[in-house]
Amino acid sequence: MNFCFKLLILITVFLSFSCNDGITLSPYDDGLAPAVPSGVFVVLATDGSIVLRWNDNLEPDFSSYSVYKSVNDTLNFVQVKTVFSAFFREDGLHYDSVYYYKIQSFDNSKRGSVFSDPISAAPVNRYAPGTPLRLSVFGLNNEGKLSINLTWVPPFDRDIAFFEIYRDTLPSFIPDTLNPHAFAFENYFTDTLNLEIDKNYYYAIRTVDKGSLKSAFSGYDSDIINKLASQIFPSNGELTEYFVNFSLLSINKPANYTIYLYENPSTSAIWSKVFSSSAVNDTIEVLFNAPFIYPDVKYYWRIVTHSKDNAVPNSISPVTQFRLK
């Protein structure tokens, strides 16, 4: 028999013997504490972040590392994290503090090594944060409540404190850096301050880090808040014969519209119609072609206008309720 065939027979016999007689294999244990972590060095120490690396422990029974830290001295080390590779990162640190770290290895039997020599780093505030990207601005008139919603992509910096928001009614305005319009602590903001219908509002934002360093300004974006379109027919509470057209009063400029029909205004629409109209303060007739609608059932409808994106409402009328005879 060749060598491979002999080896296959030996493995088969061994597995059969193990299964039948309850033999189990124990994890490897050399009976010794693991080696002291070596080659610990600081990869990065800046803007509130510290990154450490060290040489991998290649012992067969290695399990994990424990990272210990002391602030501004080497007398008060506390464990901050258990890691399973030779890498450690900590964010949100104080710029003006010195941080000391030491590493300990552990094996599968929970034996710990001697600590590595302490290493220190100071994560000073060196660089201004990144600029916010893809600022999007959408006006909203929700049944007469006016707001403008902003979203953006934040930079990857780990030491962001907040975002400054600037607003004007002029395109490409120069922000008054001494007087931000508002502040945001997430990558979104809803503006409700002193807004008017049919006025275009322009926005720019910038990032501020915990050391008060500031990014360049984002690109500009803007939107306008539309007035509400009004339902004419069916009117609120009307009991009517089956009809062919919805009738509504347009807003004061050409616009894109969506009509929504509900059985319950708190749930999803059962029918909708998207259309555009150049009508200005005029009556619009919109074909009603729902596949089914029943008598003596309450239905609700509302009109939505859009300014920039047909997937995003700009003005949302109150619902109007009607029934068919």
Residue 29's pLDDT is: 77
Pick from 316, 295, 319, 324: which is nearest to 236 by CA?
319
pLDDT at 24 over 70: no
Tokens of 225: 């808040």
Give the span between the Cα atoms of 177 and 94, in whole angstroms: 26
- Split at pLDDT 50, 70, 90, the class of 25 is low
Q: What is the mean pLDDT of residues 203-218?
A: 97
Q: What is the mean pLDDT of residues 130-136?
A: 98
Architecture of domain 133-224: Sandwich (2.60)
DSSP characters over 195-253: --TT-EEEEEEEEEETT--B-PPPPPEEEEPPPPPEEEESPTTEEE---SEEEEE--SS
Secondary structure of 66-89 as H, E, C letters: EEEEEECCCCCCEEEEEECCCEEE
Q: Which residues contact 301 (CB under 8 A, 6 or more apart)?
A: 231, 234, 246, 259, 260, 261, 262, 319, 320, 322
DSSP characters over 147-198: EEEEEEEPPS-S-EEEEEEEEESSTT----TTS-SEEESSSEEEE-SS--TT
What φ, ψ does residue 9 adopt, rounded to 5°? -65, -45
Q: What is the mean pLDDT of residues 138-158?
A: 97
Number of Cβ within 10 Å of residue 18's Cβ equals: 12
Which range among 126-140, 200-214, 220-234, 289-303 shows the weakest confidence by mean pLDDT? 289-303
Residue 292's pLDDT is: 83
Domain segments of the chain as ranges = 41-121, 133-224, 230-324
Pick from 209, 149, 206: which is nearest to 175 by CA?
206
- Split at pLDDT 50, 70, 90, the class of 30 is confident
Decide whether 133-224 matches 230-324 in CATH topology.
Answer: yes
Give domain 230-324's CATH superfamily: Purple acid phosphatase-like, N-terminal (2.60.40.380)
Per-residue burial over 63-77, b = 16 or more CB atoms within 10 Å of its CB, e = otherwise: bbbbbbbbeeeeeeb
Residue 84's pLDDT is: 97
Give the span between the Cα atoms of 160 and 48, in whole angstroms: 10
Report yes or no on whether pTM surpasses 0.75: yes
List, in sequence order, every residue forming a beta bridge with 316; answer none if it has no partner: 142, 304
- Split at pLDDT 50, 70, 90, the class of 20 is very low
Mean pLDDT of the chain: 92
Between 14 and 257, the more confident residue is 257
Torsion of CA 76, 77, 78, 79, to 10 degrees: 180
Q: What is the CATH number of domain 41-121?
A: 2.60.40.10
